[in-house]
Amino acid sequence: MDSRGRGRGSGGGAAVELDSLHYEEPIGFARFAVFAMNPTRAEPELDDSELARVAELLGHPVRQILAHH
């Protein structure tokens, strides 16, 4: 165990990069999230032009992940 009481991964499992895993639905790991809410929209998803505009404003590519809480 390490100093935080967690195992060191010596249980025989393989180490893999998160980017190499395949998931059923879109999923993301991020340092922060941007939430956009507009109760008058018919559809919750942003279309391609809206996503492109968000990416332009942030100066970084974005990926849309719909959260169901």
Residue appearing with tokens 């332009």: 56
What confidence tens digit (pLDDT) does each residue in 4-53 have?
555 555 566 788 887 788 877 777 777 777 777 777 888 878 899 999 99
Confidence (pLDDT) at 57 = 94
pTM above 0.85, yes or no: no
Task: Determine whether 54 is exposed, middle or buried from the number of CB atoms within 10 Å of its CB (0-12, 13-18, 19+).
Answer: middle
**What is the rounded distance in angstroms from the CA atom of residue 45 to the CA atom of residue 63?**
11
**What is the rounded distance in angstroms from the CA atom of residue 22 to the CA atom of residue 4?**
29
**Residue 1 banded pLDDT, cuts 50, 70, 90:** very low
